[in-house]
Amino acid sequence: MIKQISTIALATIALVLLTACSGGEKAAEVKTYKYTTVQVYEKSCIKCHGKFGEGNPAKKTPALNDRSAGEMAQDLYDVKNGGTNQSSGTDHEIMEHNMQKLVDQGFDYDIDSMAEFLSYLVKKK
């Protein structure tokens, strides 16, 4: 009888501990954006980077269609998070400054979605 009570007590304690450990997880936060990725590109990026991401040497804006979606995501991360050398080792100080102005105007975007869209532009041209 004592053995059964001990077993039940241990099982109850284990259940309580396991329940307490798993209860602290939070659901991933989903960020919403004012414009879709396509709208952001068409309303703000296309002016300098071109319809197909070809860039504009006269404006000193780089091409966006010369790298993979993964490489583009790294560059976009740099632009949105401080500008220089954050992940890809490239210099984005000017665009990082402009990006803050664009975000203030509602032209924020998801990095991975924008990188995928830019890789689609390359295939479309």
Task: State residue 79's pLDDT score.
Answer: 81
Task: State residue 57's pLDDT score.
Answer: 87
Q: How far apart are CA 22 and CA 37, in angstroms?
A: 36
**Residue 109: HSE in the Cβ half-sphere, 13 Å Cα cutoff:** 26
> Which letter, b or e, does each residue of 30-50 get, where b requires 16 or more Cβ atoms within 10 Å of its Cβ?
eeeeebebeebbeebbeebbb
Residue 87: give the domain boundaries. 37-124
- For residue 88, being part of any structural domain is answered with yes
Which of 70, 36, 72, 29 lies closest to 53, judged by CA?
A: 72
**Residue 78: HSE in the Cβ half-sphere, 13 Å Cα cutoff:** 19
> What is the mean pLDDT for each group of 10 consecutive residues in the chain (125 residues)?
53 50 63 93 92 88 87 87 54 68 90 92 70
SS3 state of residue 56? strand
- For residue 11, being part of any structural domain is answered with no
Task: State residue 22's pLDDT score.
Answer: 52
Number of structural domains (the chain) is: 1
- For residue 31, being part of any structural domain is answered with no
pTM, 2 dp: 0.67
- For residue 22, being part of any structural domain is answered with no
Q: How far apart are CA 25 and CA 38, in angstroms?
A: 34
Task: State residue 11's pLDDT score.
Answer: 46
Q: How far apart are CA 112 and CA 101, in angstroms?
A: 20
